[in-house]
Amino acid sequence: MINIKENERLSIMNHSCAHLLAQAVKHLYPEAKFWVGPVIEEGFYYDIDLGGITLTEEDLPKIEKEMKKISKDGKRIVREELSKKDALEKFKDDPYKIDLISRMNDEENVISCYTQGDFTDLCRGPHVETVKLLKYFKLLKVSGAYWKGDSKNKVLQRIYGVCFESEEALEKHLEDLEEAKQRDHRKIGKDLKIFMTHDLVGKGMPLWLPNGAMIRYNLEKYIKDKEISLGYQHVYTPSLGSVDLYKTSGHWDHYQDDMFPMMKLDDEEFVLRPMNCPHHMLVFKNDLHSYRDLPIRIGELAHDFRYEASGAVCGLERVRCMCQNDAHIFCSLNQVGDEFARVVQLILDVYQDFGFQDYSFRLSLRGKEKEKYFDDDEMWNKAESMLRSVLTDLGLDFYEAEDEAAFYGPKLDVQVKSAIGHDVTLSTCQLDFLLPERFDLTFINEKGEKERPVVIHRAILGTLDRFTAFLLEETKGVLPLWLAPIQVEIIPVSNDHHKEYGKQILSQLKQSGIRVELDSRNEKVGYKMREAQTRKIPYSIVIGDQEKEGNLVTYREHGSDVKTTISIQEFIHLLKQKIEDKG
């Protein structure tokens, strides 16, 4: 989908349309007062105080009708520049505008407002010349929003909309929005009974239902088997850690705001762990190591807990408790390039298995606000230069982004765009010279001297939660056979005549490791077939007299109308081959 903010012409149109929306609302609700109406990637919104009135989606067509009426009138949009004193006087009856003006610096800000007919609004601009140019718009939704984003403040009405230069462009955008809505993993997760949320459990803490648990089990097995074959040693470490552990690592000073509150038990202080690296540092330190042992790759599917603001949590994409496909590689300085290359290759192999193609590599660097990062310029310069050199040597196409690094070092992030337009990190690989120092990690080098290892932090699937969210959106819930919670649905034509044969097939498939169900409900075959398609089950097999007499099955793949009749053993062989090939 197009990013409105990145298109100058569309950005101006959408900001102008936000004023058109406000004018229409003012006509319909004369007591309305307005906070801000910015342009966003998806279009625009305006935050409005309607007193005791709460808008619903049903109110939007009425507002759109008034907007069209104003647009046809064709009033010019006129800019006026004011002193701060005059601006305060002009908007003296509007507490929201007074708040904005009061915080403006007299010397550094030009205070301007724009008038279109009977409506004047405080704004920097620019705007289109006349409201007549605002013809092709759509109001999308309405929601509540705290004034200034503070939960202690009043809830305002936030109306979202979008505006384009032509009807065709608007229709195309609305089609894209509908496609994104159908791809939204929250909708798919609910429809396919993959996960649920409940306020009694808490925001950002999803419950994986049986279908989701089966998907997750297979993802865990997939990545764990892959890592073990590549020399990773897996461990289990506690989901808690002492405050002293995180003070040693530096997380307490740099990451505390993202942790859950401390718990005091007897004479110890604990926190739910936000990440696993401190635990893995101690696993490495538990033994003496020679340079001949390196690299040492320690992996874990670990549960982590991070405090996300309630407004930021989103299905499985952004959660407060997560399972991370984490690992730490302890290597010598001259092994960094090879090990980093191996991690990148693993990422590419995994993405190929899942058919992911639309992603980009981001080199995440320290930002200008150095207090957010560990204070060691020499270490940062060395780490950033080394990582940039490694990525260049790999021939990787990447872009750089400041203020995206971990507090202890730069990283390579794999960025993807979710169906609802979020730019999220899927996989990550980080270079770290700090934690080996903080934990006093050493190995014995070729000279018989102690030497610090370098640590590479990496997460290939990232968190299983976010990976599953992205996978559902990429596939629209049509998962590959090896991952599907139910792989085969058996549908007897008649329960009286074919159900027992269906049970025989059920038993044979289960013995072959296939996840299978028998639909013996007293419903028509067509209804059962449609439901199997809706549930996105990869294979449906219908059994009637022909199949029963010939020891056969007639199968149909999801999304296809082609029916194929083969023996049970041939069918089992077909399934096993596709599962093995990750088809």
Contacts of 431 (CB under 8 A, 6+ apart): 336, 340, 383, 386, 387, 409, 410, 411, 454, 456
Kindly name the residue from 306, 362, 458, 536 that is annotated as catalytic. 306
pLDDT class of 350 with cuts at 50, 70, 90 = very high
Clarify whether 324 is annotated catalytic. yes
Clarify whether 157 is annotated catalytic. no
Specify the number of domains making up the chain. 3
Residue 495 pLDDT > 70: yes
Q: What is the mean pLDDT of the chain?
A: 91
Q: Are residues 208 and 87 both part of a single domain? A: no
CA–CA distance, 524 with 494 (Å, rounded to integer)? 9
**% of the chain residues with pLDDT over 90:** 69
Q: Are residues 177 and 200 both part of a single domain? A: no
Give me the residue label for tokens 């990550």: 428
Contacts of 17 (CB under 8 A, 6+ apart): 44, 67, 134, 137, 161, 163
Q: Are residues 443 and 532 both part of a single domain? A: no
C-beta separation of 144 from 111 below 8 A: no
pLDDT, tens digit, 9 for 90 and up, residues 150-163: 878 888 999 999 99
pLDDT class of 141 with cuts at 50, 70, 90 = very high
Q: Are strands 360-365 and 398-402 parallel, antiparallel or unpaired?
A: parallel
Kindly name the residue from 49, 59, 304, 326 that is annotated as catalytic. 326
Q: 577: exposed, middle or buried (C-beta count within 10 Å: 0-12, 13-18, 19+)?
A: exposed
Residue 110 pLDDT > 80: no
Clarify whether 533 is annotated catalytic. no
SS3 for 488?
strand
Kindly name the residue from 173, 320, 328, 536 that is annotated as catalytic. 328
Clarify whether 303 is annotated catalytic. no
Does the residue 268 lie in any domain? no
pLDDT, tens digit, 9 for 90 and up, residues 194-251: 999 999 999 999 999 999 999 999 999 999 999 999 999 999 999 999 999 999 998 8
Task: Find the domain containing 177 and state its range.
Answer: 4-183
Q: Are residues 405 and 446 both part of a single domain? A: yes
Clarify whether 457 is annotated catalytic. yes
pLDDT average, residue stretch 404-408: 81
Does the residue 311 lie in any domain? yes
pLDDT, tens digit, 9 for 90 and up, residues 530-566: 999 999 999 999 999 999 999 999 999 999 999 999 9
Q: Are residues 291 and 431 both part of a single domain? A: yes
Q: Which CATH number fits the domain that encloses residue 85?
A: 3.30.980.10
Residue 387 pLDDT > 90: no
Kindly name the residue from 113, 123, 277, 314 that is annotated as catalytic. 277
CA–CA distance, 25 with 55 (Å, rounded to integer)? 11
Q: Are strands 516-518 and 488-492 parallel, antiparallel or unpaired?
A: parallel
pLDDT at 369: 77
**% of the chain residues with pLDDT over 70:** 99
pLDDT at 545: 92
Q: Are residues 454 and 331 both part of a single domain? A: yes
Q: Are residues 288 and 391 both part of a single domain? A: yes
Does the residue 269 lie in any domain? no
Q: Which CATH number fits the domain that encloses residue 326?
A: 3.30.930.10
pLDDT average, residue stretch 429-448: 93
Q: Are residues 415 and 512 both part of a single domain? A: no
pLDDT at 573: 96
Q: Are residues 557 and 457 both part of a single domain? A: no
Last residue of a domain, one of 430, 447, 475: 475
Last residue of a domain, one of 138, 159, 183: 183
Does the residue 188 lie in any domain? no
C-beta separation of 301 from 324 below 8 A: yes
Integer angstrom CA distances of residue 229 from 198, 224, 459, 497: 39, 9, 16, 49
Does the residue 14 lie in any domain? yes
Residue 9 pLDDT > 90: yes
Q: Are residues 453 and 509 both part of a single domain? A: no
Clarify whether 326 is annotated catalytic. yes
With residues binned 3-state (H G I as helix, E B as strand, rest as coil), the percentages for the chain, rounded to 5, are 40, 25, 30
Residue 69 pLDDT > 70: yes
Q: Are residues 9 and 156 both part of a single domain? A: yes
pLDDT at 21: 96
pLDDT average, residue stretch 169-190: 92
Kindly name the residue from 411, 466, 498, 535 that is annotated as catalytic. 411
Does the residue 279 lie in any domain? yes
pLDDT, tens digit, 9 for 90 and up, residues 280-328: 999 999 999 999 999 999 999 999 999 988 778 899 999 999 999 999 9
Last residue of a domain, one of 138, 154, 183: 183
Selection from 88, 77, 86 nearest residue 19 by Cα: 77
Clarify whether 411 is annotated catalytic. yes
Q: What is the largest distance, in Å, between two alpha-carbon atoms of the chain?
A: 93
Does the residue 17 lie in any domain? yes
pLDDT at 43: 93
Q: Are residues 525 and 436 both part of a single domain? A: no
Buried b (16+ CB within 10 A) or exposed e, 216-247: bebbeebbbeebeeeebeeeebeeebebebbe
Residue 357 pLDDT > 70: yes
C-beta separation of 5 from 41 below 8 A: yes
Kindly name the residue from 23, 116, 324, 415 that is annotated as catalytic. 324
Does the residue 261 lie in any domain? no
Which of 51-60, 72-81, 256-265, 292-301 is modeled with the greatest confidence?
A: 292-301
pLDDT at 312: 83
CA–CA distance, 296 with 348 (Å, rounded to integer)? 22
Q: Which CATH number fits the domain that encloses residue 522?
A: 3.40.50.800
| Angle between helix 60-73 and helix 8-28 axes, rounded to 10 deg | 110
